[in-house]
Amino acid sequence: MTTKRIALITGANKGIGFETARQLGQQQITVLLGARDAAKGEAAAAKLRAEGLDARALELDVTVSASIQRTADKVAREFGRLDILVNNAGVMTDDQTKKVSEQSLSAWRTTFETNVFGVVAVTQAFLPLLRKSEAGRIVNLSSILGSNTLHSDPQSPIYDFKLPAYNVSKSAVNAYTVQLAYELRDTPIKVNAAHPGWVKTEMGGEGATMELADGAKTSVALATLPVDGPSGAYMHLGETLPW
């Protein structure tokens, strides 16, 4: 078995996930790029290999149980453990022309299927492999838009950004992070939620202020925490955010 650390990043064929894989790979970590589209995943991994990184693609749809189990079995066979899990895959399906009370139930269900249930399902499948790591790390991609404290403060910068299905899904990710960190408190595994920032991606849109390289920094830092690092925290670039 390899002595190099092994990291799995979901939704890693583009955007923040791809940049997270790149930066972890630059730290001599083997990166497994999870992607729903196998061809896109392989193209992304090939790009990182061309940069001299140890990158491999895995076909992984976080909303499909069979896909998750196949991937977990493959990682178990090939590596015997997992050191880092970055639950990066996410969607935003809110209709921004509609009010909070007008968002369709289908938007809520689609959002939660990936952003919440996908995170739980993938984590459950890979936790046995993470337990075999000497220093397992789980990073759940959240957002500052998941902060109930800031959403209820008229003076906060996100007060008017009410995208309910997306925002509440990230609040749920935060809550799950706290619950799982409690379970794993007496193990070497650390579980944290990351707000990447408002990053220039397809989801971030034209107004985004952060470059991809900076948007991946929080995930990478939490994925490589030292033994005395936090667990059950909600972080952005080293700062703790209000729940």
Tell me the catalytic residues.
Answer: 166, 170
- In the sheet that 84-87 helps form, which strands lie side by side, from edge to edge? 55-59, 30-35, 6-9, 84-87, 137-141, 190-194, 234-236, 239-240
Bridge partners, residue 210, by sequence: 199
Rounded distance, CA 114 to CA 121, Å? Answer: 10
Contact between 84 and 8 (Cβ < 8 Å): yes
Give 34-87 as a DSSP string: EESSHHHHHHHHHHHHHTT--EEEEE--TT-HHHHHHHHHHHHHHHS--SEEEE
Rounded distance, CA 70 to CA 59, Å? Answer: 9
Rounded distance, CA 223 to CA 17, Å? Answer: 13
Dihedral of alpha carbons 138, 144, 147, 150, sign:
positive
Count Cβ neighbours within 10 Å for each residue of 98-121 and write b for 16 or more, e otherwise: eeeeebeeebbebbbbbbbebbbb
